[in-house]
A and B are shown apart, each in its own frame.
Chain A
């Protein structure tokens, strides 16, 4: 594994625009970054693929364990959510996608840092944008990337109706771009895919409706379950016969406390880091993360404190495995799981050891 510098293509922003990638820059700063790329060996790609598959198996088994043992309290599941979580899991409502964040330096085994089980992003850039870059950059190289075709293949297997609504919050180009990319894959799979913002979702007393008062039978939401359930319409969710992607059981692996359950069930697994819901049990330096935090907010680690809106949440304490440094940057491997299978990776890197919403997306090849 190595990080190599390159000259960005002079027309990269125009290329991005033509593909519908509206957030190549965020608030005037580069997000899609062509000043560098990562190169892996084939063996390293296989290591990442195998580790992702192994973690996915543990995720499935541990979720079943959590539901059967009613671990809603230790997981910090939102109040009132557990019945819909149990029903969702017992009905085996399928998951479309998720992203594992892995620490990997090409030397030791990949280590699981976090599971993004509910609203993972950086999808469009991993699936399409970095592939387009590869086509222009190196005709002999390949990329760990089957995300696009696996998404299209997954939609018909989810048992959804012919129309699936798509929704996200307003005022985020990244959220809207990610949702529109997923709509694109659903349309290519033969699904009718109308869009409405999450604040446009209606409730008529019995079902959720769209702006034409059509009942919403199924909806893909880029909006967190833990936000939805504490909002005004949250108490309507158990009553509505709506299929949600991602399904409610994803609240189980979405909690950072789930990492402590994984360590409990699979201690010393080579792809896991020690993790507990109490401080001081890892036996070494620790990083503390709010159970429902996002984008590196309210993190506490040796020499690092970040602020944010999650300070009042319970925390997960994980053995601190500082990210490797390549060319002065700290990369995190985002490994995608589509319909339960490894599908490819995207890399985000930061000038600090904490990945946050200002971190940049950098392509890769092998």
Chain B
């Protein structure tokens, strides 16, 4: 069919992490992820979809919880490095008798210093 058959002028490009929710496109504004999830929840309930409650559960529990925002002042999120994962370690909890309390680090990354980035 080809790409050129599709109308592209209506597309809206939004950046949440990089531009704090600012819409890049003139074609429309950016809907926050929370608003989108709530809209999807309302639609699912109205349509009486069997997975409606699962969809609606996402709109209650989800939030932008990313951290590791790096050194640039305009990043939407805060501190650099570090993890804010809210998921428990249960999927990895079996057979942990060989795991140490403090991980060794620095085992990746050594090649990068000679190459100045991974770009290809």
Contact = CB atoms under 8 A, between A and B. Distances in A.
Interface in A223-248: 223-224, 227-228, 230-234, 236, 241
A227 B103 contact: no
B15 A131 contact: no
Contact of A212 (B82, B105, B107): B82
Contacts of A193: 17, 66
Nearest to B24: A132
A254 B104 CA distance: 30
A233 B108 contact: yes
Contact of B19 (A18, A49, A127, A194): A18
A227 B111 contact: yes
Given A20-B18, A184-B16, A232 B110 contact: yes
Q: Which residue of B16, B74, B109, B114 has the most chain A CB atoms within 10 A of its CB atom?
A: B109
B50 interface: no
B54 interface: no
Given A50-B2, A119-B118, A230-B111, A128 B13 contact: yes
A48 B120 CA distance: 20
Contacts of A241: 91-92
A201 B108 CA distance: 7
Given A121-B120, A198-B112, A211 B82 contact: yes
Nearest to B62: A190
A103 to B, nearest CB: 17
B34 to A, nearest CB: 10
B67 interface: yes
Contacts of A206: 92, 95-96, 98-99
Interface residues of B, number: 69
Contact of B83 (A170, A171, A183, A212): A212
A241 B93 CA distance: 12
A180 B18 contact: yes
A215 B92 contact: yes
B106 A199 contact: yes
Contacts of A342: 3
Interface stretch (A65-73, A159-167, A257-265, A271-279): A159-167
Interface string A200-221: 1111111101111111010000
A146 interface: yes
Given A135-B25, A180-B18, A210 B83 contact: yes
A169 B68 contact: no
A243 to B, nearest CB: 11
Interface string B1-42: 011101011010111111100101111000001000100000
Contacts of A42: 4
A33 interface: no
Contacts of A163: 85-87
Contact of B9 (A142, A166, A169, A210): A142
A236 B114 contact: no
A161 B86 CA distance: 11
Contact of A190 (B58, B89, B100): B58
B103 to A, nearest CB: 3
Interface string A1-20: 00000000000000001111
**Cβ-closest 4 pairs across A and B:** A202-B103, A233-B107, A195-B68, A20-B18
14 contacts: A49-B4, A121-B119, A131-B24, A135-B24, A174-B117, A180-B70, A188-B16, A194-B68, A201-B105, A205-B98, A217-B92, A224-B118, A228-B108, A309-B115
Given A161-B87, A192-B84, A192-B86, 10 more contacts: A20-B75, A131-B24, A166-B68, A168-B118, A169-B112, A169-B118, A190-B37, A192-B65, A204-B100, A212-B83
Interface of B: 2-4, 6, 8-9, 11, 13-19, 22, 24-27, 33, 37, 58, 62, 64-70, 72, 74-75, 80-87, 89, 91-92, 95-96, 98-120
